Chains A and B, each alone.
Chain A
Amino acid sequence: DTGVSQDPRHKITKRGQNVTFRCDPISEHNRLYWYRQTLGQGPEFLTYFQNEAQLEKSRLLSDRFSAERPKGSFSTLEIQRTEQGDSAMYLCASSAGELFFGEGSRLTVL
């Protein structure tokens, strides 16, 4: 499969727990983006990387959110001390021009 891959597809956690999502982009794409999508809304930009450099992170929702792309390939998005309001779909996209989206990781915080 040469598309954008996200893992896990679904995550159910209790409030206060930490969660981590992984995104494997299309291999030749140097840009990688994270978005959040809540019910009834369009994707909301969170952060993006060019290779391993995180070029925009001011739109991360709080300091509980962090993202890494250590070797310029896969990326992780971590949410610490989850809250019920964090329940959403977290989308990853990669780009060498056009954005290609993964199928998303759905988070449910109980």
Chain B
Amino acid sequence: AQSVTQLGSHVSVSEGALVLLRCNYSSSVPPYLFWYVQYPNQGLQLLLKYTSAATLVKGINGFEAEFKKSETSFHLTKPSAHMSDAAEYFCAVSVYIDNNDMRFGAGTRLTVKP
């Protein structure tokens, strides 16, 4: 079955610094990959998704992620962190176009220091 591993349960950056959240996937077939953000007491919101159209995917709020098949990675980046980016981020993988049986990573909590 497909799975994702998020490296680092907590990441702390200074405001204005680069954000890098790491995700590695495992899948026996070409995967669909996703990043979601969860703010306290809220549901998950889709940041971006990879569906094989382009390896560099741009999402909302200035985030982007690059699919690297050779490294089985889908790391999330943002050039300059903002205080409002503080949240929990989840990487997810699905082998179905309709997102059934989506598997989530354990999450990375991002803290942004002033």
Contact = CB atoms under 8 A, between A and B. Distances in A.
Interface of A: 4, 31, 40-45, 48, 55-56, 91, 93, 95, 97-104
Interface of B: 9, 36, 41-46, 49, 90, 92, 98-107
B99 A45 contact: no
Nearest to A10: B41
A104 B43 contact: yes
A99 B99 contact: yes
A83 B79 CA distance: 45
Contacts of A31: 98, 100
A21 B36 CA distance: 23
Contact of A97 (B92, B98, B104): B98
B44 A43 contact: yes
A88 to B, nearest CB: 14
A99 B102 contact: yes
B100 to A, nearest CB: 6
